[in-house]
Amino acid sequence: MPKWYFKAALQRGISLLPYSHRINHWVQRRMGTLQLSSFFLEDRLIAVKRHLDAARSCFQGAMPQKMLEVGTGWYPVVPIGLFLSGVEEVWSMDVRSLSSLAQIRELVLYLSTPEIKALLNQHLGDWDKRKFQALQQAVAKSPTSNLDRLSALGIHFKIGDARSIPIDWGKFDWITSNNTFEHIPEPVLVDMLSGMYEVVESGGGMSHYIDMVDHYHYADPEISPIHFLRFSANQWSWVENSLHYQNRLRLSEYRACYARAGVPIHHVDMEHLPEDALNAVNLHPQYQDLPQDDLLVGYASIVSRK
Ligand SMILES: C[S@@+](CC[C@H](N)C(=O)[O-])C[C@H]1O[C@@H](n2cnc3c(N)ncnc32)[C@H](O)[C@@H]1O
């Protein structure tokens, strides 16, 4: 059985169980696929810099004061990176509670190692050492798993659906997401885009980083980074599962979602995959009419202003 298929079948099986997210977390930790690594840390620190560059260029070089990240996930490197970079109020929301104080402690401990401090210096430049100390103290002191304790520092972890962001959270200068849109079904994404844009301050904006590569390619590099485009929607629904849903949208389809949500696109930074990726896959007819240039976009950062 190909490696990617084994992973898909395992996750599909787990997704049908009660407490599937917890079980998935446990299995992934046992298999070592959810370990903090310098590769993961560096990838997310680059994301922090990318979002701050986009925001600062909108604010004539000034740092945004209040930012929201949608899709916290397991290890909130991006919100902590924004906090250390000097954003005064950082909010991070997820539709379910995945990150815990124990994981944040683990992350803060990892950030204290010389190897990772060097990455902080490299990607965040003059980050705030005093804020880091305050964070170390806050996570060490707290006897409970209550993430609210970090609010005193200006980091707010919230549970909620980005389609309807509570009005009492106020408005945000800048909203971001990382590696999140590709896991959202298209109609939900349209509602999320309009929900987020509604709570952007006028004069502010959003930057969303999307990984359009077939994520099974990361577990099985033998398959093309766009291997999933060989399946019809019906076939894909048999491979898919709720724990690892991938919408397979290409950049032109994301642009259409923005248009439907009434959210303007200011600019897109993108990275193309090598042409070999296309040669190695028999495209399903549903994708055959899309231009090669569109099919081969692997990563995109979509910036909007309001
Ligand atoms: C793949 S994770 C990305 C985690 C993190 N941003 C990272 O880069 O590691 C996507 C996250 O988006 C969250 N999510 C999905 N739909 C959402 C929604 N409607 N509102 C808020 N979060 C959502 C999921 O629960 C998941 O934790």
Choice among 12-26, 55-69, 116-130 with the minimum mean pLDDT: 12-26
224 within domain boundaries: no
126 within domain boundaries: yes
Going by CA atoms, what residue is nearest to atom 10 of ligand 1? 180
137 within domain boundaries: yes
CATH number of domain containing 166: 3.40.50.150
Cβ 162 under 6 angstroms from ligand 1: yes
pLDDT given for residue 146 in this prediction: 64
82 within domain boundaries: yes
pLDDT given for residue 34 in this prediction: 66
Domains identified in the chain, total number: 1
Domain that holds residue 75: 36-205+249-272+297-305
pLDDT given for residue 7 in this prediction: 79
pLDDT given for residue 253 in this prediction: 98
213 within domain boundaries: no
Cβ 161 under 6 angstroms from ligand 1: yes
Express each pLDDT in 114-169 by its tens digit: 999 999 999 999 999 999 999 998 888 655 556 777 898 999 999 999 999 999 99
214 within domain boundaries: no
102-123 average pLDDT score: 93
Helix (H, G, I), strand (E, B) or coil at 304: strand
Cβ 154 under 6 angstroms from ligand 1: no
pLDDT given for residue 107 in this prediction: 93
pLDDT at 74 over 60: yes
pLDDT given for residue 43 in this prediction: 95
The closest of 119, 158, 114, 157 to 135, measured between CA atoms, is 157
pLDDT given for residue 240 in this prediction: 82
pLDDT given for residue 145 in this prediction: 56
pLDDT at 36 over 70: yes
C-beta pairs of 214-222 under 8 Å, 24+ apart in sequence: 214/246, 214/248, 215/182, 215/244, 215/246, 216/4, 216/7, 216/8, 217/4, 219/3, 219/4, 219/7, 219/33, 220/2, 220/3, 220/4, 220/7, 222/2, 222/3, 222/4
pLDDT given for residue 62 in this prediction: 97
pLDDT at 17 over 60: yes
101 within domain boundaries: yes
Going by CA atoms, what residue is nearest to atom 27 of ligand 1? 73
Going by CA atoms, what residue is nearest to atom 22 of ligand 1? 94
pTM value?
0.93
pLDDT given for residue 143 in this prediction: 57
pLDDT given for residue 19 in this prediction: 76
Q: Which residue has the higher pLDDT, 14 or 115?
A: 115
pLDDT given for residue 142 in this prediction: 56
The closest of 159, 43, 28, 161 to 100, measured between CA atoms, is 159
pLDDT at 85 over 60: yes
Give Cα 125 distance to the centre of its chain: 22
For 223, phi and psi rounded to 5 degrees?
Answer: -90, 155
Quote the tokens at residue 241.
């599962």
227 within domain boundaries: no
Q: Which atom, in ligand 1's list, is nearest to the CA of 192? A: 19
The CA 279 to ligand 1 mean position distance, Å, reads 32
Express each pLDDT in 260-292 by its tens digit: 999 999 999 999 999 999 998 999 999 999 999
The closest of 121, 101, 102 to 113, measured between CA atoms, is 121
7-15 average pLDDT score: 79
